[in-house]
A and B are shown apart, each in its own frame.
Chain A
Amino acid sequence: MLGKYFSGERKKNFYLPGEEIKIDKSFSFNNYTCEKDPLATCKSRVAFASLMFMLVYVVICGRLFSVCISTDTSSAKTYDETDHLRAYAANPIKRADIVDRNGTIVATSLPTVNLYANPKKILNAKKAAAELSRILPDIRYEDILDKLQRRRSSFVYIKRNLSPSQQYQINYLGIPGLEFENGEKRIYPHKNLFAHVLGNTNIDNIGISGIEKQLNERLTQSDIPLTLTIDAGVQDTIREQLAAAVRQFKAEGAAAILMDVRNSEIIAMISLPDYDPNLNNYKTERAQFNFATKGVYEPGSVLKIFNAALGLESGKVKVTDSFDATKPLKLKYNTIKDYRGENRWLTVPEILIYSSNIGSAQIALKVGRQEQQNFLEKLGFFAPVQSIEVAEKGHPLVPRRWGEETIATVGYGYGISVTPLHLVTAFSAIVNGGVYHAPTLVKDHPGEDTHRVVSFNTSKEIRKLLRGVVVEGSGKRANVPGYEVAGKTGTANKLVNGKYVDKKVMTSFLATFPASAPQYALFLMMDEPKATKETWGFVTSGWNTVPTAGKIISAIAPQLNIKANYDIDELRRNRIIEASY
């Protein structure tokens, strides 16, 4: 029966409906005689057609299977979030927090929403701009309109870090082409307190200064909080006292570093003036400058500590040796004088107590150039401190020619410029028993550089000498009872246009406490402190940084859990006990 339809209308014979169709072998189309059985042709055609249909169904089945059953990767990737099917929730905050040694958060990222526009999709730019400028009063209508009319671009930020209510209102407008993007904003809850330690990030959350820059990779790769060695409480106490001192003495700036001498962990690091990293404006150049790690200056008399240590370590100088300080020391191009000289022979302890330039220069000259250079290099004074985890590192200024003059001037702290961090690290090495540890700001940092710089006995001698300076020398005002402060002051004239100016000074104080078993080293520096009535017109270190250091030590020592060692008399002790009732 099918044969009729397959053979088509070309068939000559005509059949009535219901008539039996007879197929004879001599059947032909247009004089073409078919050799094979026509029924077989029909059968093969039917088979072909049904095969095609089956193929279609197989394809449909296959597609159904692939859609319903198998979730192949190509379809999963079309989701905008690749972690759609994770078994756990990923942390939505990408940049890791920074915490202090007690776990207090000092830098964190908050989730925010950024608004961007696709100008190609915006239908009525003027209306959209008007509505947006109503909701975002801090952006001008013209600016928004300008952005929305950039027909060529398909992505333009309108505003970053929207508030939730702003986001709701903009969403409510329902303008096509305005879209939101999840973002982050770096927040510093302590404002100015860690400005220079932590640094700052730019608008794309990439570190641009401080730890944020130096450890940018660590902060972005892992969401485990980064623990610092800084103690927020101590940092705040020191900053408060230092800021008060800066106000009192009308100083241009100041810096302070508190370091654990046993492992060179930095407990507090402050540079004033500072700035609020949460705000993007109101930063002066000076406020952005981290003096503690980047400011190189001639430290003056505090270098006499290292000079004395060098003398004792070399074996060429003994504590009991005395040096002639009766008259200024005449060198080839230079004459070395003392500030308020004693004009007599001085022993090594006296040289430190009266801060004699002449005596120190003589010690340096006695030891000689080679040993002096080697010693200063061991203390790290010739290279930037690489181990510190802030991006700002100061390169020391070392004299190129190292003649007799240089030996003498370096002996009492001129001619070589280093950063406060260099000084306090080297000082820690001298007082802690003689081992240099590379300074660090990060807890559990891998592999540290340690080497011996002086012998244990030299370290002990130097501590005794420095205790003498505080008990009867220029550091008297830092002699906090109970905490055995030992230290050395330094007042250096500032170099202005290649000339030393008398009135402008940089005053420094390096101290350690308790002297019998040092735990902490404190460095204080003030830039151009002015004379006041209380200081009797003096601008030397003993009148500004030393009393400040005294206040700081008496405030932080109980915080640092240092056991006070008393030598107070019976009467006073009784009075205290009476008072406690």
Chain B
Amino acid sequence: MNSTKTATLSLWVTLTCLVGFGMFVMKNQVQNLESQLAGINRNIQDDIKTIHILKAEWSHLNTPSRLRSLAMKHISLNPVKAEQIINYSALPFEYESGESGRRLLAQKNISNQAERNKRLKRLVKAQR
């Protein structure tokens, strides 16, 4: 056997071995990654399940009938009546056009009202 033939053969053998080894290492890594992926997917699915259960519980705790009974127990509020909602224009205050003027007037009116209420309270006290 001459030297060139030997060299070619050994080169091929080495290459085959290298490729085979490389393949093996890569395959091994892929397998590891795949098992990692499967694990992560399993965790995500568990999380989805947990979130799902928590959402169902949230919905259960937020049922209107439960909220109503809690509100009746803990807050002294009643359902809003139609009469309680009024337009700004329906207020018995002086009306002035322009945003700032309107706000100033409203403030003035409110303070006037508050003063009047105070006076009324004082009067009631005096009567007692």
Contacts and interface: CB of A to CB of B under 8 A. Distances in A.
Interface of A: 68-69, 84-93, 104-106, 108-111, 187, 189-191, 193, 232-233, 235-237, 240, 480-483, 554-555, 557-558, 563-564, 566, 568, 570, 572-574, 576-577, 580-581
A481 B38 CA distance: 64
A576 B83 contact: yes
B contact residues, range: 35 or more
B3 to A, nearest CB: 26
Interface string B109-122: 00001100100000
Interface string B43-60: 011001100110110111
Interface string B69-104: 000000000011111111000111000000000000
A189 B38 contact: no
B48 A85 contact: no
A555 B85 contact: no
B56 A105 contact: yes
Interface string B33-45: 0100110111011
B23 interface: yes
Contacts of A581: 113-114, 117
A85 B38 contact: yes
A231 B122 CA distance: 49
Contacts of B65: 193, 236, 240
Contacts of B55: 105, 108
A105 B113 contact: no
Contacts of B53: 110-111
B38 A237 contact: no
Nearest to A563: B85
Contacts of A189: 56, 59-60, 63
Contact of A105 (B49, B59, B81, B92): B59
B48 to A, nearest CB: 6
A564 B41 contact: no
Given A84-B38, A91-B48, A92-B49, A564 B92 contact: no
B41 A89 contact: yes
A235 B68 CA distance: 13
Contacts of A580: 84
B49 A111 contact: yes
B90 A566 contact: yes
Nearest to A580: B84
B56 to A, nearest CB: 5
Given A187-B56, A236-B65, A574-B92, 10 more contacts: A84-B38, A108-B56, A108-B59, A110-B52, A111-B53, A189-B63, A480-B82, A481-B82, A482-B83, A577-B92
Which residue, of B63, B64, B79, has the highest number of chain A Cβ atoms within 10 A? B64
Interface of B: 23-24, 27, 34, 37-38, 40-42, 44-45, 48-49, 52-53, 55-56, 58-60, 62-65, 68, 79-86, 90-92, 113-114, 117
Given A91-B48, A189-B63, A233-B64, A558 B79 contact: yes
A344 B22 CA distance: 106
Nearest to B58: A105
A457 to B, nearest CB: 29
B106 to A, nearest CB: 13
- Lowest 5 CB-CB distances: which A-B pairs, in order? A236-B64, A482-B82, A89-B44, A189-B60, A105-B59
Contacts of A237: 64
A89 B63 CA distance: 31
Nearest to A92: B45
Given A69-B23, A85-B37, A236-B65, A577 B82 contact: no
Contact of B80 (A558, A566, A573): A558
Contacts, number: 106
A581 B112 CA distance: 12
A104 B48 contact: no
B64 A232 contact: yes
Given A110-B53, A554-B82, A573-B86, A193 B63 contact: yes
Contacts of A86: 41
Nearest to B82: A482
14 contacts: A89-B48, A91-B45, A93-B49, A189-B56, A193-B64, A236-B64, A236-B68, A240-B68, A483-B82, A557-B82, A558-B82, A566-B83, A566-B90, A576-B86
B70 to A, nearest CB: 14
A104 B55 CA distance: 9
A69 to B, nearest CB: 6
B109 to A, nearest CB: 10
A261 B113 CA distance: 43
Given A68-B24, A190-B63, A555-B79, A564 B85 contact: yes
Nearest to B41: A89
Contacts of B79: 555, 558
Contacts of A235: 64
Contacts of B52: 93, 108-111
A93 B81 contact: no
A481 B84 CA distance: 11
B50 to A, nearest CB: 9
A573 B49 contact: no
Contacts of B81: 554, 558
A483 B83 CA distance: 10
A465 to B, nearest CB: 23
Given A232-B64, A576-B83, A93 B48 contact: yes
B56 A110 contact: yes
A92 B59 contact: no
A104 B37 contact: no
B61 to A, nearest CB: 8
Given A93-B52, A554-B81, A566 B59 contact: no
Contacts of B34: 85
A564 B82 CA distance: 6
Nearest to B46: A92
Contacts of A568: 83
Nearest to B49: A111
Contacts of B64: 190, 193, 232-233, 235-237
